[in-house]
Chains A and B, each alone.
Chain A
Amino acid sequence: MTTETKNGNGRTTGRGIGLAAVRGLALALVSLPGAVLCFCLSLVSIALIPIGVGLVTTPYVLTGVRAFADWRRVLAAEWGGVRIPPAYRPLPERADPWTRTVALLRDPATWRDLRWLPVDMTAGFVTALLPAVLLLYPLEGFALAIGLWRVFPDGYWYGFVPVTGQASAFGAAALGLVLLFLAHFLTPRLLGVHFRLTRAVLGGNQRELAERVRVLTETRRDAVDASAAELRRIERDLHDGAQARLVAVGMDLGTIEALLDKDPAQAKELIARTRRSSVEALSELRELVRGIHPPVLAERGLGDAVRALALRLPVATEVSVDLPGRAEAPVESAAYFAVSEVLTNAVKHSGADRIWIDLHRADGMLRATVTDNGKGGAVIGAGSGLAGVERRLGTFDGVLAVSSPAGGPTMVTVEIPCA
């Protein structure tokens, strides 16, 4: 394989032209039946979903379509130097047919595949075939000039040249020569056009992808930073708190052992102190656990965890919950800590005497709204707790919206996607 054909431009060699033509011909011969087959099977399979058969077949058919599209991606990269990044969503492992089918049909990449198939069987086929045609057609012109014209006594159109005798057959050969000259420049480019066409239809929106990558990189960095800071805090709390107290307990026990016979009264006093230390160590550990993963959240889920949170607030709070089932643990946890932070803010700064919390889940979104009747004026700015909440929600593609006109009321909405 030469670099010239790979790039599809610049100086091309005879071998490169031949190679492009052969590849184009092979592509055309495979892509037409392949695309037609994939397209028909997909249509039939999807149409059969209402009667159930489609549920079983669709995952297989669409996986086949993906394999076909992926093979074409490989060819585009190897033969045309055109990279077409696949943008399929990961399929649920070992899920039931319904979930697999729905997951496949909800993936925009699936619909891009299906849109690509008709394009591939028409324009794709033509652009793949043209390089071969451009190379073979001149050969026919030369064949006519050599004597093939005699086979057509009634005249024959070669391109726009009517071949009726040896003279016009030479004309055909001349046209063939011109075509061959053109093929010299065009053949690899035409194959390149085919691959670029494939990319245009099959490839994801590059700008969209680039933006997505940028956002993911940013939120990942935030998540890594936040969890590193969190680990440091936990380590420090354990080290300075519970761990130190338990060491003290151990030391006191040693002293008690020594004092037991000599000075029982002092030993007794020390025992009381030791017990206090162990109680304090326990309560510190309890606080630490609450900060990492609140027990009620683990035991009951988000709804009751927020209810329990509301019970501890010094402000009268109403909670309404409409959460069918439980979301994934990380999503629940993120929502809980976001609500907790928003509530802390409201209690500290708003001056409100009533708070309403509304939790509900619909259309794959977990939504939490915290409204207070305070003085308003809350902003997501540097230094405010809300900015931190927004950053941490970013990891989950969640968003934070604040409506807080001066004079109140303040309404903070948190939205996290959850499948």
Chain B
Amino acid sequence: MRVVLAEDLFLLRDGLVRLLQAHGFEIAAAVESGPELAAALAELDPEVAVVDVRLPPTHTDEGLQCALDARRKRPGLPVLVLSQHVEQLYARELLADGTGGVGYLLKDRVFDAEQFVDAVRRVAAGGTAMDPQVIQQLLARRSGDDRPLARLTPREREVLELMAQGRSNAAIAGRLVVTERAIAKHTANIFAKLGLEVSDDDNRRVLAVLAYLDHGR
């Protein structure tokens, strides 16, 4: 799988290149600035882009802007954004076009190589990978009031959290050490309580959950 990588810190870039190569990815380009990233995304047509939010020359949100821009030109271009911090604001911007194939993770997540590579694959396949911190912020915000979210059982909230990160039922079942059937039951309950339509599509599920959480602000 061809990856374009953008990260300005040499140590991290080098580490990411090696990590991805070790897991069978092909590095089409590893760049260190916004303009280079824009050029690489336009020319190399990668299957997935792994991008740091803050890039030279501006050292602001150059990487994120580049990624959003590339996705406007080529809708659905899978982009996994890495950042030293995660903000709902940026997560929303990435999810806004509703086409999936986006991820937004803390840089720390690369510590767990398996999970990180899994996230890259999920994004490349058109799914989503939202950082647990973003989801927790969303859920924390919503738990204070008397919306339907409050009617979820603790177990259902756990499932919802993992679902919102972009995981499939099988992955959630593995994580919570229960059967997939149990998860299917939980998700059906969650969707019923939240008034969402059931869907098999991983990506749609996440977007539906996020859209719900977004709603009524």
Q: Which residues of A contact B (CB under 8 A)?
A: 275, 278-279, 282-283, 286, 289-290, 295-296, 298-300, 304, 307-308, 311-316, 353
Contact = CB atoms under 8 A, between A and B. Distances in A.
**Can you list the 3 inter-chain pairs with the closest CB atoms, starting with the nearest?**
A314-B144, A299-B61, A311-B88
Contact of A311 (B53, B87, B111, B145): B87
B217 to A, nearest CB: 6
B137 interface: yes
Given A300-B60, A313-B141, 7 more contacts: A279-B111, A286-B85, A295-B54, A296-B89, A304-B89, A311-B88, A312-B137
A282 B216 CA distance: 34
Nearest to B107: A282
A311 B89 contact: yes
Contact of B54 (A282, A299, A312): A299
B45 interface: no
Contacts of A300: 60-61, 89
Given A300-B60, A312-B137, A314-B140, A282 B108 contact: yes
A108 B83 CA distance: 48
Given A299-B61, A300-B61, A307 B84 contact: no
Contacts of B145: 316, 353
Contacts of A314: 140-141, 144
- Interface SS, A side: helix
Interface in B104-162: 108, 111-112, 137, 140-141, 144-145
Contacts of B112: 275
B152 to A, nearest CB: 17
A353 B83 CA distance: 32
Nearest to A315: B144
A307 B217 CA distance: 12
- Interface SS, B side: loop
B89 A298 contact: no
Contacts of B54: 295, 299
Contact of B141 (A278, A312, A353): A312
Interface string B70-94: 0000000000000111011100000
A350 to B, nearest CB: 14
Contacts of B60: 298-300
Given A299-B61, A314-B140, A290 B111 contact: no
B87 A296 contact: yes
A304 B61 CA distance: 12
Nearest to B112: A275
18 contacts: A279-B111, A283-B108, A295-B54, A295-B83, A295-B85, A296-B87, A299-B60, A300-B60, A308-B88, A308-B89, A311-B88, A311-B137, A311-B141, A313-B141, A314-B141, A314-B144, A315-B144, A316-B217
B88 A312 contact: yes
Given A299-B54, A314-B144, A286 B89 contact: no
Nearest to B93: A304
A311 B60 CA distance: 20
Contacts of B88: 308, 311-312
A153 to B, nearest CB: 91
Contacts of A290: 85
Contacts of A289: 84-85
A290 B133 CA distance: 15
A355 to B, nearest CB: 12
Q: Which of B88, B89, B137, B141 has the most CB of A within 10 A?
A: B89
A353 B84 CA distance: 32
A279 B108 CA distance: 7
Interface string B23-40: 000000000000000000
A307 B87 CA distance: 10
Nearest to B88: A311
Contacts of A307: 89
A311 B210 CA distance: 14
Q: Which of A279, A311, A353 has the most CB of B within 10 A?
A: A311
Contacts of B108: 279, 282-283
A133 B139 CA distance: 90
